[in-house]
Chains A and B, each alone.
Chain A
Amino acid sequence: MTNRIQCQGLGKRFGSVTALQALDLDIDLSEPTGLVGANGAGKSTLFAILCGFIRPSAGSVQVMGMDVRQPGLKGKLGILPQDTSMYKGISVHAQLCHYARLQGFNRHQARQEVGATMERVNALSLARQYPETLSFGQRKKVLLAQALIGSPRLILLDEPTSGLDPVVTREVHQLLQELAKDYCLFISSHNIDEIEGICRNIVVLNHGKLIRSGTISDIKRMHQCFRLRLESSPAVDIIETLGAMPNVTAVEAEQGDTRRYMIFYREGSSHEVQIAVLNEMQKFDVGVEELSKGSALADEISSLLRG
Chain B
Amino acid sequence: MPNLPRIFELVRFDFVYAFTSMRNTLFVIPYFLFWYLIFSNYSATTLEWLQSTQGLFIASWLLEDQELALQLLVDRSPTLSVFLLISVGIMPLFIMFAANNQLSSDRARGAFRFVLTRATRHELYLSRFLSSLLVAASCIVIATAWALVVAWLNEEAQVLRLVVFAAETLLLLLFYCLPFVAFMTMTSALAKSAMGNLFLALMLYTFLVFVILWLHKDISTIAYVLPSAIRPFLFEINTTHTMTAIAALSLYALSYYILGWFIFRTRDV
**Could you tell me which A residues sit within 8 Å of B by CB distance?**
48, 51-55, 69, 71, 74-75, 77-79, 81, 83-90, 98-99, 101-104, 146, 150, 152
Interface presence of B82 (CB below 8 A): no
- A53 touching B116, Cβ below 8 Å: yes
Q: How far is the CA of A85 from the CA of B121 in the complex (A)?
A: 19
Q: Which residues of A contact B9 (CB under 8 A)?
A: 98, 101-102
Asked whether A88 and B21 contact (CB < 8 A) given A54-B268, A55-B268, the answer is yes
> Interface residues of B toward A: which range?
20 to 34
Q: How far is the CA of A88 from the CA of B13 in the complex (A)?
A: 13
Closest to A85 in B: B109
Q: How far is the CA of A150 from the CA of B117 in the complex (A)?
A: 11
Q: How far is the CA of A4 from the CA of B231 in the complex (A)?
A: 57
Interface presence of B118 (CB below 8 A): yes
Q: How far is the CA of A101 from the CA of B6 in the complex (A)?
A: 8
Residue of A84, A102, A103, A104 near B113 (CB, 8 A) is A84
Q: Which residues of A contact B269 (CB under 8 A)?
A: 53-54
Asked whether A84 and B110 contact (CB < 8 A) given A71-B3, A90-B20, the answer is yes
- A81 touching B116, Cβ below 8 Å: no
Q: How far is the CA of A69 from the CA of B120 in the complex (A)?
A: 8
Q: Which residues of B contact A146 (CB under 8 A)?
A: 114
- A74 touching B110, Cβ below 8 Å: no
Query: What is the distance, in angstroms, from B7's C-beta to the closest C-beta of chain A?
Result: 10
Closest to B24 in A: A89
Closest to B3 in A: A71
Interface presence of B225 (CB below 8 A): no
Known: A69-B120, A98-B13. 9 other contacts (CB 8 A): A77-B117, A81-B110, A81-B113, A81-B114, A84-B114, A87-B21, A88-B21, A102-B6, A102-B118
Interface 1/0 per residue, B252-269 and A, CB below 8 Å: 000000000000001011
Asked whether A52 and B116 contact (CB < 8 A) given A84-B111, A85-B109, A86-B111, the answer is yes
Q: How far is the CA of A83 from the CA of B110 in the complex (A)?
A: 7
Q: Which residues of A contact B119 (CB under 8 A)?
A: 74, 102
Q: Which residues of A contact B4 (CB under 8 A)?
A: none
Q: Which residues of B contact A88 (CB under 8 A)?
A: 21
Q: Which residues of B contact A90 (CB under 8 A)?
A: 16-17, 20
Asked whether A71 and B120 contact (CB < 8 A) given A53-B113, A53-B269, the answer is yes
Q: Which 10 A-B residue pairs are closest in the complex by CB-CB distance?
A: A84-B110, A54-B268, A102-B118, A81-B113, A101-B9, A98-B13, A53-B269, A77-B117, A71-B120, A84-B113
Q: Which residues of B contact A78 (CB under 8 A)?
A: 117
**Could you tell me which B residues sit within 8 Å of A by CB distance?**
3, 5-6, 9-10, 13, 16-17, 20-22, 109-121, 266, 268-269
Q: Which residues of A contact B114 (CB under 8 A)?
A: 81, 84, 86, 99, 146
Q: Which of B21, B109, B115, B118 has the most CB of A within 10 A?
A: B118
Asked whether A87 and B268 contact (CB < 8 A) given A71-B120, A75-B118, the answer is no
Q: How far is the CA of A115 from the CA of B69 in the complex (A)?
A: 62
Query: What is the distance, in angstroms, from A5's C-beta to the closest C-beta of chain B?
Result: 14
- B111 touching A87, Cβ below 8 Å: yes
- B22 touching A89, Cβ below 8 Å: yes
- B266 touching A55, Cβ below 8 Å: yes
Q: How far is the CA of A266 from the CA of B52 in the complex (A)?
A: 104
Residue of B6, B21, B116 near A89 (CB, 8 A) is B21
Q: Which residues of A contact B21 (CB under 8 A)?
A: 87-89
Closest to B9 in A: A101
- B118 touching A74, Cβ below 8 Å: yes
Q: How far is the CA of A71 from the CA of B120 in the complex (A)?
A: 6
Closest to A54 in B: B268
Q: How far is the CA of A79 from the CA of B121 in the complex (A)?
A: 16
Q: Which residues of B contact A81 (CB under 8 A)?
A: 110, 113-114
- What are 26 A-B pairs at a CB distance below 8 A? A48-B268, A51-B113, A51-B116, A51-B117, A52-B121, A53-B269, A55-B266, A55-B268, A74-B118, A74-B119, A75-B118, A77-B117, A79-B113, A79-B117, A81-B110, A81-B113, A84-B114, A85-B110, A87-B17, A88-B21, A90-B16, A90-B17, A98-B13, A99-B118, A102-B115, A103-B118
Q: Which residues of A contact B109 (CB under 8 A)?
A: 84-85
- B117 touching A74, Cβ below 8 Å: yes
Q: Which residues of A contact B5 (CB under 8 A)?
A: 104
Query: What is the distance, in angstroms, from B60's C-beta to the closest C-beta of chain A?
Result: 49
Query: What is the distance, in angstroms, from B269's C-beta to the closest C-beta of chain A?
Result: 5
Q: How far is the CA of A242 from the CA of B5 in the complex (A)?
A: 69
Q: Which residues of A contact B117 (CB under 8 A)?
A: 51-52, 74-75, 77-79, 152
Q: How far is the CA of A51 from the CA of B6 in the complex (A)?
A: 18
- B116 touching A102, Cβ below 8 Å: no
Q: Which residues of A contact B110 (CB under 8 A)?
A: 81, 83-85
Q: Which residues of A contact B111 (CB under 8 A)?
A: 84-87
Closest to A12 in B: B268
Q: How far is the CA of A98 from the CA of B112 in the complex (A)?
A: 13
Q: How far is the CA of A55 from the CA of B112 in the complex (A)?
A: 15
Q: How far is the CA of A252 from the CA of B121 in the complex (A)?
A: 50
Query: What is the distance, in angstroms, from A103's C-beta to the closest C-beta of chain B?
Result: 6
